[in-house]
Amino acid sequence: MSDDEQPEPPHPGPKEPREWAPRDLGASGSTPPGRGAAAEGPDGPAGPSETAGPPGRPDAAAGASAGTPAGTSAAPAGPGKRPKRPKRTGWRRFVPRWRVVLGIVLLFALLLIGGFVAGYTLVSIPAANAGATAQSNVFLYADGTPLASDGEVNRENVQLAQVPLTVQHAVLAAEDRDFYSERAVDPKAMVRAAWNTLTGKGTQGGSTITQQYVKNYYLGQEQTVTRKVKEFFIAIKLNREETKEDILAGYLNTSYFGRNAYGIQAASQAYYSKDVEKLTTGEGAYLASLLNSPSAYDVIAHPQNKPRALARWNYVLDGMVKKKWLGAPERAATTFPVPGKVKPRAGLAGQRGYVVEAVKDYLTGNKIIDENTLATGGYRITTTLQKAKQDAFVKAVDDTVNSKLSADRKADRNVRVGGASIDPASGKVLAMYGGIDYTKQYVNNATRRDFQVGSTFKPFVFTSAVVNGSTTQDGRPITPNTVYDGTNKRYVQGWKGTPYNPANEDDTSYGPITVRTATDKSVNAVYAQMAVDVGPAKVRQTAVDLGLPADTPDMPNGPSIALGTATASVLDMTQAYATLAGHGRHGTYTMVESVIKDGEKTELPSQDAEQAVTREAADTTTSMLQSVVDGGTGTAAQASGRPSAGKTGTAEQDKAAWFAGYTPDLATVVALMGADPDTAVQQPLYGALGFPRMNGGGPPAQIWAQYTKGALRGSEPKDFDLELQDGATIPVEPPAPNPPQPSTPGTDQGPTQGQDQGQTGGRNQGQTQGQNQGQTQGQNQGGRNQGQTQGQNQGQTAQGQNQGQDQGQTQGGADNGGTNTGGQTQGQTQGQIQGQDQGQTQGGTETGGTNTGDTEGPGATTTGLAARPRGSRSP
């Protein structure tokens, strides 16, 4: 095309462009092939005169623009029309556009900023709250009469300069290691704590020292979102108005350290009897550890928690090293500083201090009131204790023990007494004896958990046997009349662990003995075997079901559990025995009737009881424990004048002696304990109160009887209403006469012994029950041999003496002019048959006579229950 034929460029001006399609430049090579000039406008595809671009290329218009001469523009889709936004499809329909998201974020930021400004403006630093000068808590008996008051708060403010730098650093290492470099608040920790509070996951700390000081001095201890918000803004303002040093000083003076000590100076006196200026690094680290949990980490009040306290103490010191506040050599040389004895105020003398501390432990342990909140005071607490019963307990201990202590007996200085009494029907603690005087002995002997309970644990083994329908090793149901082997140091059968052969008290062997009699005499050999027959794990579970805490120390998974190695407290054991008295129903004990502050009652936990063990199990156990009082080791308890059931117990080396017993309406446990008054180390009670040996049937049972008699004075005695297990009332079969045996003058024929004394007990043992079943005694009329055959030499298979056949024994005692045909014999010539059960025979010759052992031949039906003539026997 010539230049003259080229169209003139359009003239600029307001003239509306006409609609036209750009020419196809593909032929001239201006547009690459496939990049057509036709364009799809924003309102749809190109018109008929337009050349469509390649399929799937919505931006074909770009090619047209590229081929348009400079100064020209593509024609719009139409006059006055705006392009339409394509509609979203699929999941994109539910995603907000970025403009919406941006708007929400900006709005949220504005709200936060506005809220912060409003909060900072509206929330001002208040005056110190009442908690800064806490009130006393008032404790009342169940009838409303005054019991005790814990007095005013012990506090003495000091300047920060008086606190050694190492002690300051110890507190920072324990509570807020970045105190000097961080801001007043920790938003992350606050959000976490608030979320946990709102969602019911429990309260959580995480506040800075500044926030804790604000909480202690200006606000309160309640865990609410409102308090957290106020704490947030006050801390920010306070951080701007006060120095870090002033805030730290305020924190040290307002924090609670336990032992009713508020502030570092009071704590220094309470734990180490010195002013704060004289605290060592180790002592400062221990006091800093207490801030986390004052009661739990007091190793004097709660010696069982010492491992936890040590772990926290080490955490503090390691933190000081990490922050370079303490050198590694000095850290290695620091030893744990055991705090001194508690010095309670005189207002808590006698039993009042023990009761007050036990009630506080109950309130905080059951999460009724936070420990720090309770320490601020102002609470009116009505306990479940009854004054008449409390006085009766004190009098019983004074009459039986305290009045008889003598300075001339070294062991008497170690004597401690603890006791508790519970109503089985309600679970209420009605009386408690914690020690001679709270101002002299701080540790509560009724709640401490460091003395073995001894044989008072044995009833739990039998209860578990009934609950679980347990049987002996040879398949006989365990009832009060089941016969066991009571041989001293008898090895437990069926136990796959380390061989175990406990000694009975005074190394006494009892031979075949019923469970009831074994309970009366507290035979260790029987109950160790029964624990294996039932299963140690099941025994432990039953003890927990009855009322012992699941974390009670020293309840091993082995036969020794039956001997009472557990270190439960007197109060724990009282709960368990109250469950037995209550026919197996158990509810958590309570010491508090009501808690009121500022006219508002605090909600208390429900005391709904549940059937912890079957009634038959509890009642059958009760029937056996009645026998202990009637004719066993607990006969001293008869002085109560009430139908009673109980069990004695003695710890290893006589370091503690127990009596646990109950009437139908009152369960009480008493324990005498031996502990050095200076070192608190446990000591044997040999010689205490003038007794060569201390056991539960002595002073503990006597205290129990006097207290029970006084506590129930004026009420009608009640009998036990018992529902026993099947077979519990079936007595042991009485002896039956032997079939007549031919005899000649001058001959005494030794009868085959009875069911408990040597009857044929099975084809594998040649005796009835265990090592001592089958023991027989001959009659010694002056001869050299009493004819007594004992346990392990009687051919029983348990000791490996079965030679493939059961062997009977005959044994005679030579008397004046007599002859003895005794000795072990085998074969039918002696009435014994090899390969089957063979009875033991024994004769005792008399003057001028001879002894021939009675025998049982094949098919004999005699049970061997014949009584024999009695003569003198060796002890």
pLDDT, greater one: 477 or 4: 477
- The pLDDT score that the predictor gives to residue 759 is 36
Residue 618 φ/ψ region, left for φ over 0, alpha for ψ in the -120 to 50 degree band, beta for the rest:
alpha
* pLDDT above 50: residue 716: yes
* Exposed / middle / buried, residue 595 (Cβ in 10 Å: 0-12, 13-18, 19+): buried
* pLDDT above 90: residue 659: yes
Tokens of 520: 């009366």
* pLDDT above 60: residue 392: yes
* pLDDT above 50: residue 864: no
**Contact residues for 675 (Cβ-Cβ < 8 A; gap 6+):** 414, 416, 681, 682, 683
Q: How would you write 759-774 as a 3-class SS string?
A: CCCCCCCCCCCCCCCC
- What percent of the chain has a predicted confidence (pLDDT) above 90? 50
pLDDT, greater one: 793 or 93: 93
Q: State the sign of the Cα–Cα–Cα–Cα dihedral 581, 455, 539, 570.
A: positive
- The pLDDT score that the predictor gives to residue 665 is 95
- The pLDDT score that the predictor gives to residue 198 is 63
3-state secondary structure of 408: coil
Residue 742 φ/ψ region, left for φ over 0, alpha for ψ in the -120 to 50 degree band, beta for the rest:
beta
> What domains are there in the chain, each with its CATH number?
152-344 (1.10.3810.10), 733-776+862-869 (no CATH)
- The pLDDT score that the predictor gives to residue 755 is 36
pLDDT digits (tens, 9 = 90+) for 843-855: 333 333 333 333 3
Quote the CA–CA distance of 276 and 648 in Å, as a whole number: 49
Comparing CA positions, the residue from 553, 455, 449, 452 lying closest to residue 502 is: 455
Mean pLDDT of 770-775: 38
pLDDT, greater one: 378 or 119: 378
**Least confident among 228-232, 298-302, 615-619:** 228-232
Task: Tell me the CA distances in angstroms from 94 to 85, 88, 98, 105, 595, one per residue in order.
Answer: 17, 9, 12, 18, 55
pLDDT digits (tens, 9 = 90+) for 126-173: 666 766 655 788 899 999 998 998 877 778 888 999 999 999 999 999
Q: How would you write 548-610 as a 3-class SS string?
A: CCCCCCCCCCCHHHHHCCCCCCHHHHHHHHHHHHCCCEECCCECEEEEEECCEECCCCCCCCE
Mean pLDDT of 329-336: 96
DSSP string for 770-826: TTTTT-B----SS-S----B-GGGS--GGGT---SS---EEE----TT-EE--EE--
Q: Identify the residue whose tokens are 């009881």.
A: 609
**Segment (H or E) for 528:** helix 524-534
Mean pLDDT of 775-797: 37
Beta bridge partners of 658: 649, 671
Whether 168 and 248 have beta carbons less than 8 Å apart is answered as yes
Mean pLDDT of 756-760: 36
Q: What is the pLDDT confidence band of residue 214, given thresholds at 50, 70 and 90?
A: confident
Quote the CA–CA distance of 626 and 481 in Å, as a whole number: 15
Q: What is the mean pLDDT of the chain?
A: 76
**Least confident among 160-164, 546-550, 582-586, 599-603:** 599-603
Comparing CA positions, the residue from 293, 307, 265 lying closest to residue 174 is: 293
Tokens of 840: 């033991």
- The pLDDT score that the predictor gives to residue 372 is 86
Quote the CA–CA distance of 168 and 284 in Å, as a whole number: 8
Mean pLDDT of 361-375: 91
* pLDDT above 50: residue 458: yes
Tokens of 373: 């909140």
pLDDT digits (tens, 9 = 90+) for 528-538: 999 999 999 99
* pLDDT above 80: residue 59: no
Quote the CA–CA distance of 682 and 680 in Å, as a whole number: 6
Whether 430 and 624 have beta carbons less than 8 Å apart is answered as no
- The pLDDT score that the predictor gives to residue 658 is 98
Give the distance from CA 179 to its chain's centroid. Answer: 36
* pLDDT above 70: residue 209: yes
Q: What is the pLDDT confidence band of residue 222, given thresholds at 50, 70 and 90?
A: low
3-state secondary structure of 331: helix
- The pLDDT score that the predictor gives to residue 703 is 98
Mean pLDDT of 673-677: 94
* pLDDT above 60: residue 715: yes
Quote the CA–CA distance of 279 and 419 in Å, as a whole number: 38
pLDDT digits (tens, 9 = 90+) for 249-258: 988 988 999 9
Whether 351 and 345 have beta carbons less than 8 Å apart is answered as no
- The pLDDT score that the predictor gives to residue 504 is 95
* Exposed / middle / buried, residue 110 (Cβ in 10 Å: 0-12, 13-18, 19+): exposed
Quote the CA–CA distance of 770 and 757 in Å, as a whole number: 11
* pLDDT above 90: residue 95: no
* pLDDT above 70: residue 55: no
